[in-house]
Amino acid sequence: MDATDDLTIVQLGLEDAAGGLAISSEAQWNQNEADWNFFLSKAIVFGVRAPDRRLIATAALMPYSASDAWISMVLVTASWRRRGLATRLVDECLSSANRLGVTCWLDATPAGAAVYGPLGFTPTIQLQRLRLDRPPVVTGPPLPQGKLGDLVTCDISAMGFDRRALLEELAGRLGSRLVSNGDALALVRYGRTARHIGPVFADCPAHALKMVRDIAASESGPLLIDAVASQQAFVKGLTEAGWTVERPFQRMRFGRATTRGDEPPFAVAGPEYG
């Protein structure tokens, strides 16, 4: 019997935020305590504990609508990897999704995509995570505040389903900024190691790039953005401005597409949220 066969999958609660944060921090992910609290209060989060009761693996199913849900926070602490725990947890998420009757989506690292493909996930769009460590400091007028209703409308058009509760949560966090200049709209929020820009909506690449440039000029620390790879002019403009590519992500879907989005955004809310 494998050493993990007798480890039970359990559903986690808010009291597990510190344990989850420890695993995602070990993996050098950008999630912070607010992210974990949101998942543990709004999603179905599964976990596995070691014999000493320490949390060693997690996976979450976040229902966004009656038809679509996101799988994320698939994490295994280093000393317990490659023993099948991630596959077991994803299977548990898929079983829950089947009971709910929802289509599942996720954003996978290259290693994760190799695992999810055999489970029946099919690739859709690709993402590129980029980082800017030293934004240029420029003194200028503050960016105008954007409207939450506009953000929700743009997001529904891009995703094909309503994520209002998520966007309200992210925009309402301490330190978050929802900014607009009339041609583009973007959300900026805190992460564990860097501020995250996204989603970003605009009517053309030039306006999206100007928005990101203006945000970067008003920030003092490192920044992350998860750009949609098919927005080639946008990604090229970011790299020319000093952003460096950290890693790719592959968006994948399990089941048939029940909804269809229009033109994708220039950047997404993050691989944990879609």
Report the pLDDT averaged over residues 183-188: 97
Judge whether 63 lies within some domain: yes
Cα distance between residue 84 and residue 134, in whole Å: 39
**One domain for residues 233 and 168:** yes
Judge whether 190 lies within some domain: yes
Judge whether 112 lies within some domain: no
**One domain for residues 163 and 85:** no
**One domain for residues 204 and 242:** yes
Burial class (CB in 10 A: 0-12, 13-18, 19+), 109: middle
What is the model's pLDDT at position 139?
66
Judge whether 274 lies within some domain: no
CA-closest candidate to residue 182, choices 137, 150, 149, 217: 150
pLDDT tens-digit map of 19-58: 999 999 999 999 999 999 999 999 999 999 999 999 999 9
Judge whether 177 lies within some domain: yes
Which pTM does this prediction carry?
A: 0.93
Find out whether 198 and 181 touch, Cβ atoms under 8 Å: no
User: Which residues constitute the domain of residue 14?
Assistant: 9-101
Cα distance between residue 119 and residue 123, in whole Å: 12
CA angle 89, 159, 237 (to 5 degrees): 105
Report the pLDDT averaged over residues 145-170: 96
What is the model's pLDDT at position 115?
84
pLDDT at 124 over 60: yes
Report the pLDDT averaged over residues 56-70: 96
Report the pLDDT averaged over residues 165-178: 97
**One domain for residues 134 and 240:** yes
What is the model's pLDDT at position 3?
63
Where do runs of H (alpha helix) occur along 31-180?
33-42, 85-100, 110-119, 148-159, 164-172
Cα distance between residue 273 and residue 156, in whole Å: 14
SS3 263: coil
**One domain for residues 82 and 166:** no
pLDDT at 136 over 80: no
What is the model's pLDDT at position 6?
83
> Hey, CA dihedral for 11, 258, 225, 117, is it positive or negative?
positive
SS3 18: helix
The chain-wide mean pLDDT, for the chain, equals 94
Give the least confident one: 79-88, 108-117, 137-146: 137-146
Q: Tell me the helix, strand and coil percentages in the chain, rounded to 5.
A: 35, 30, 35
Structure letter (DSSP) for residue 109: -
Beta bridge partners of 45: 60
Find out whether 129 and 247 touch, Cβ atoms under 8 Å: yes
Count Cβ atoms below 10 Å from residue 31 Cβ, excluding itself. Answer: 24
What is the model's pLDDT at position 1?
40
Q: Pick from 36, 66, 101: which residue ends a domain? A: 101
The percentage of the chain sitting over the pLDDT mark of 70, rounded to a whole number, equals 96
Report the pLDDT averaged over residues 129-154: 88
pLDDT tens-digit map of 218-262: 998 999 999 999 999 999 999 999 999 999 999 999 987 777 767
**One domain for residues 91 and 134:** no
Judge whether 262 lies within some domain: no
**One domain for residues 244 and 139:** yes
Report the CATH number at residue 132. 3.40.630.90
What is the model's pLDDT at position 273?
97
Total domains present in the chain = 2
CA-closest candidate to residue 117, choices 262, 252, 260: 252
pLDDT at 2 over 80: no
**One domain for residues 170 and 218:** yes
Cα distance between residue 188 and residue 31, in whole Å: 14
What is the model's pLDDT at position 233?
98
Report the pLDDT averaged over residues 72-98: 95
**One domain for residues 133 and 244:** yes
- Residue 68 C-alpha from the chain's centroid: 15
Judge whether 114 lies within some domain: no
Phi, psi angles (nearest 5°) of residue 78: -55, -45
**One domain for residues 68 and 139:** no
Angle between helices 33-42 and 164-172 in degrees, nearest 10: 150
Judge whether 122 lies within some domain: no
**One domain for residues 148 and 73:** no
Report the CATH number at residue 82. 3.40.630.30
Give the least confident one: 122-136, 146-160, 194-208: 122-136
The percentage of the chain sitting over the pLDDT mark of 90, rounded to a whole number, equals 86
**One domain for residues 137 and 222:** yes
